[in-house]
Structure 1
Amino acid sequence: MNAETDTHQNGQSNTKDTNGHSVVSSDDDYDPHLHRNVQNPTTTLQTFAHFLKASIGSGVLAMPSAFANAGYITGPVLTLIIGCIAVHCLHILINSMYELCKRKRVPYLTFSEAMTIGLHEGPPIFKCVLPIATPLVDGFLAFYHFGICCVYVVFIAESIKQIVDEYLVVLDVRLHMCFILIPLFLLYSIRTLKTLAPFSTFANLLLFVGFGIVLYYIFATLPPISTRQPFQVVSRLPIFFGTVLFAIEAVGVILAIEEKMEKPKSYIKPFGVLNVGMAIVLSLYILLGFFGYWEYGDDALGSVTLNIPQKAILAQVAKIIFAITTWITYALQGYVTADIIWNKYLSKRSKDTSKHVLYELLIRGGIVLLTFCFAVAIPDLSLFLSLVGSFCLSILGLIFPALLQICVQYGLGYGVWKLKLMKNIFLIAFGIFGGIIGSYVSIVQIIESYNT
């Protein structure tokens, strides 16, 4: 792509492409990271703790069930492929946002702001969606993390119910959902990631203890591997895709913790928070999924804690551990929903800043109540995991990042043989196909579960 370059007095250079669009070149010396003014920034270690906690939620406990829909050979291979694609999309998303920050000479842009600016500077065909770009991205982010919180309410309540049923009295799971409303709100009232950091660190330590207990039961009585399927029929793969994508991706939290970092450059280094954290996450997911499926086969349930001996003391300890860690993750995942609803939209409507804390707490209380209401209606945990993962994360984690890079590179070119363009078209097609098929299969199975 031919270009003409003009240099301004402030050292900022503009590149005009053949279509006449003016684009700030990436050799501009403005570094957005150096101009961020973050209140209560998190250290690299605190960010790493948040990353692990955000990426290792209740979804990891569904990996044996996911592998039952793929097979013990297909499962690890596809998990690794999906994980690598997800990490790559996060890299191109963060790098594209950084590039737009340089062009606009601003310290930070949110996902939705970057998407709006990118569409404006990208191919003319995308300009028709400009009016809805910001609310669309914000809406998907808020809804996705809200959906995660709904799943977490179900998971925590079911874990507590199993213990209470065994030792005290049998109660409906909806009553247990009522009992956890106040603890959920108390932790959710923490409004900064820095304050949540010690909770994430504690939860990560508990998680590894819980994993150890689950693996102890799994390894105790492994049957011959020949009793399990190395491959499964293609029709079962969409459920696998949605469950794995849900378990791996946490786009909103991953962006939020990067925004609040004291040293954001360490986030996307080759051995930075994103790559090292995701390597650990994928290793745990493949380990638990492979051996969990080997042990339980098609009997693997939506949470592997439902498969381990229900009356054993050690198993009850594991359930308590995962209930506590999920309770902590609820506040971390729900941070994105509250941040978008309050900080981006509602806070501007209230001119009395002295009441902002009260209003935000009321908003957070409303979110907790809504997650409770939706959780009551969820018939099957694993199917809902797959539906949320297929629908929202195909868009947020695959389609939008690829679309944003297409727009950001529009004025600069797509490299030799337009490889960047072809790659991003593939990612968009992969996201659309996986999202539609996964969502359809999940909805059909949810309807069937209601009718049985």
Structure 2
Amino acid sequence: MSMKKVSMEMNGDAPVRPVMDNYSSKIELAYNGSREDLDPYVPADHRPLESNTSSFGALAHLLKASLGSGVLAMPLAFKSAGLLVGSIGTMLVGFICAHAIHVLVKTSQQLCIEVKKPCLGYADTCDLVFQHGPKPVRRFAPLARELADWALAVTHLGACCVYIVVVAESFKQVSDVYGGPTWSITTYCGLTLVVLIPITQITKLKYLVPFSALANFVWLGSICISIYYCLRDPPPLSSRNISTSISGIPNFISTSLFAMEGIGVVMPIENEMTKPQHFLGCPGVLNIAMTAVVMLYGFVGFSGYLAFGEGVRGSLTLNLPEEEVLAQIAKILVACVMILSYALIFYVPVDVVWRKLQDRIPARGHRWGMAALRFVGTLLTVGLAAAIPRLELFMELVGAVCLSVMGLLLPSVVETVWLWGKDLGWGKWILIKNIIIGVFSLVALVSGVTYSIITMLEKL
């Protein structure tokens, strides 16, 4: 993506302005209206050479990142809402998540032109939007950065705890079936440290690529086996709830947000694209990926709840029949995927915390400081998983607290601040829309946390 070269024709003393490509002009006009003096800065032209991901590659990365452990949690979400409400709710939550991602990326692209930077991360976008916003809100820029950073870190720490519980429950079920030791879930959580401590000491992402590649193939196999059992002998629709009470909606929203929200990986993927204008738009990388994600999540949630009803667990594989070898293989495959994926997910909170600590540690102690941070972080996640070995409680709480803030509230606030005084649309409809999304996120936050804590106190 570069400016088209044009010859310089003279009209008096004024040269003709270079013709910009469609992407740059559209982004400029989006927030500057018809300003005559357009800035020809094109962010993608200044990205490093290693930022060479194609549009198809970006789509593959986004699908891979979105189709994680959450897909196996969707039957639990449908249990809270019912078949009909769950189906409609999945589409609604998917649309809201996709829109929140869209406005965040669009704001980031416009901001890159304003500040003349090739690309920006999530926290950088939040920070700079407030810095360049109306004077009364500029002092909140550090707070916006910290909120984005810590929401991202806590979300991924929660996901790490979920992974540990899935691994522990999967191995416990297989061990119980085949006459293994009758240890508790807490013991199995502790045993994961044997693998997790060495693997989390890998500090370079490139060394995690083989683990990620292997996990993708294993994950595909486990999902196919799970869907097979859901469709093998489904009961009639009348045997399941079409809808539930209003009290189940907060749990549905929290679990759905945990499952579908992939905003933490969106900015790194967009920042690596050679043609970032293909990320948004119609069809666009984002729209294609989110459509596929919503369809698959809705299908797995519907068929999983239909097959297993009120007994559905936090991970679909935990409901598979214990007497069949194929089902046990699926559980082991999922456990292996979680172990292989843990180090990659764990990289995010470690990176956030390390950026806060590294300046306080002498340079000669950085290596040991990083090793100690990773060791303590691993112990922390395993300790939390062992203390609250209820998978659904983790997912609901993480979805309610972190993803409501990071995935919905912050993008709507960031877009509002960025467009304030520029163009909030006819009748300020963008402001009204973002207020509605903000209220929705706060309702999801408060109600989700309330019901999660109540459930936690009742079941622990």
Q: TM-score, normalised by structure 2?
A: 0.85
Instruction: Give the residue type in structure 2 aligned to 1:427.
Output: I
Aligned-pair CA distance for 1:288: 0.9
Query: Following the alignment from structure 2 to structure 1, what is the Cα–Cα distance between the partners of residues 376 and 202?
Result: 15
CA distance change for structure 1 residues 345 and 264 in 2, over 3 Å: closer, same or farther? farther
| Corresponding position of 1:21 | none
| Corresponding position of 1:159 | 170
- Residues 54 and 333 of structure 1 are in contact (CA less than 8 Å); yes or no, is this contact kept in structure 2? no
| Corresponding position of 1:19 | none
Aligned-pair CA distance for 1:124: 4.7
Of 97, 103, 115, the match for 2:114: 103
Structure 1: 5+ residue runs without aligned partners? 1-9, 12-23
| Corresponding position of 1:305 | 317
| Corresponding position of 1:52 | 63
Of 252, 255, 258, the match for 2:270: 258
Instruction: Give the residue type in structure 1 aligned to 2:235.
Output: P
Of 368, 371, 392, the match for 2:378: 368
| Corresponding position of 1:5 | none
Instruction: Give the residue type in structure 2 aligned to 1:389.
Output: G
Structure 2: 5+ residue runs without aligned partners? 1-16, 19-34
Query: Following the alignment from structure 1 to structure 2, what is the Cα–Cα distance between the partners of residues 104 and 34?
Result: 15
Query: Following the alignment from structure 2 to structure 1, what is the Cα–Cα distance between the partners of residues 69 and 449?
Result: 20
1:274-325, Cα deviation, whole Å (9 max, x unpaired): 3322222222211111011111222212222222101210001111111122
| Corresponding position of 2:27 | none
Instruction: Give the residue type in structure 1 aligned to 2:456.
Output: I
1:151-194, Cα deviation, whole Å (9 max, x unpaired): 11111111112112222222222222222224224443444445
CA distance change for structure 1 residues 333 and 50 in 2, over 3 Å: closer, same or farther? farther
Report the aligned-residue RMSD. 2.7
Query: Following the alignment from structure 1 to structure 2, what is the Cα–Cα distance between the partners of residues 346 and 26?
Result: 43
Aligned-pair CA distance for 1:205: 2.5
| Corresponding position of 1:15 | none
Could you tell which deviates more after superposition, 262-271 or 282-291? 262-271
Aligned-pair CA distance for 1:262: 5.6
Of 443, 449, 452, the match for 2:453: 443
CA distance change for structure 1 residues 57 and 110 in 2, over 3 Å: closer, same or farther? same
Could you tell which deviates more after superposition, 230-239 or 120-129? 120-129
Matching of residue 226 in structure 1 with residue 238 in structure 2: yes
Three-state SS of the structure 2 residue aligned to 1:318 is helix
Three-state SS of the structure 1 residue aligned to 2:182 is coil
Could you tell which deviates more after superposition, 43-52 or 73-82? 43-52
Aligned-pair CA distance for 1:142: 1.0
Aligned-pair CA distance for 1:73: 0.9
| Corresponding position of 1:121 | 132
Aligned-pair CA distance for 1:260: 4.3
Three-state SS of the structure 2 residue aligned to 1:230 is coil
Of 166, 179, 182, the match for 2:191: 179
Query: Following the alignment from structure 1 to structure 2, what is the Cα–Cα distance between the partners of residues 230 and 358?
Result: 55
Could you tell which deviates more after superposition, 122-131 or 142-151? 122-131
Query: Following the alignment from structure 1 to structure 2, what is the Cα–Cα distance between the partners of residues 162 and 118?
Result: 49
| Corresponding position of 2:439 | 429
CA distance change for structure 1 residues 181 and 26 in 2, over 3 Å: closer, same or farther? farther
Three-state SS of the structure 1 residue aligned to 2:247 is helix
CA distance change for structure 1 residues 366 and 47 in 2, over 3 Å: closer, same or farther? farther
Of 332, 338, 341, the match for 1:326: 338
Aligned-pair CA distance for 1:250: 2.9
Of 402, 417, 430, the match for 1:420: 430
Instruction: Give the residue type in structure 2 aligned to 1:211.
Output: I
| Corresponding position of 1:405 | 415
Q: Which has the larger radius of gyration?
A: 2
- Residues 40 and 194 of structure 1 are in contact (CA less than 8 Å); yes or no, is this contact kept in structure 2? no
Query: Following the alignment from structure 2 to structure 1, what is the Cα–Cα distance between the partners of residues 212 and 137?
Result: 40
| Corresponding position of 2:10 | none
| Corresponding position of 1:137 | 148
1:51-73, Cα deviation, whole Å (9 max, x unpaired): 33432222221211210111111
- Residues 252 and 336 of structure 1 are in contact (CA less than 8 Å); yes or no, is this contact kept in structure 2? no
Query: Following the alignment from structure 1 to structure 2, what is the Cα–Cα distance between the partners of residues 186 and 420?
Result: 49
Of 44, 48, 52, the match for 1:37: 48
Instruction: Give the residue type in structure 1 aligned to 2:160.
Output: C
Instruction: Give the residue type in structure 2 aligned to 1:390.
Output: A
Aligned-residue sequence identity (percent) comes to 37
Instruction: Give the residue type in structure 2 aligned to 1:118.
Output: V
Instruction: Give the residue type in structure 1 aligned to 2:375.
Output: G
| Corresponding position of 1:387 | 397
1:8-56, Cα deviation, whole Å (9 max, x unpaired): xx99xxxxxxxxxxxx999422122222237686665665454334322
Of 51, 68, 79, the match for 2:79: 68
- Residues 53 and 329 of structure 1 are in contact (CA less than 8 Å); yes or no, is this contact kept in structure 2? no
Query: Following the alignment from structure 2 to structure 1, what is the Cα–Cα distance between the partners of residues 203 and 315?
Result: 29
Query: Within 5 A, what are the aligned runs for 1:347-362?
Result: 347-350=358-361, 352=363, 356-362=366-372
Query: Following the alignment from structure 1 to structure 2, what is the Cα–Cα distance between the partners of residues 208 and 65?
Result: 20
Instruction: Give the residue type in structure 2 aligned to 1:55.
Output: S
| Corresponding position of 1:16 | none
Could you tell which deviates more after superposition, 430-439 or 189-198? 189-198
Three-state SS of the structure 2 residue aligned to 1:234 is coil
Three-state SS of the structure 1 residue aligned to 2:251 is helix
| Corresponding position of 2:248 | 236
| Corresponding position of 2:157 | 146
| Corresponding position of 2:25 | none
- Residues 161 and 394 of structure 2 are in contact (CA less than 8 Å); yes or no, is this contact kept in structure 1? no
Give aligned pairs, total: 428
Three-state SS of the structure 2 residue aligned to 1:73 is helix
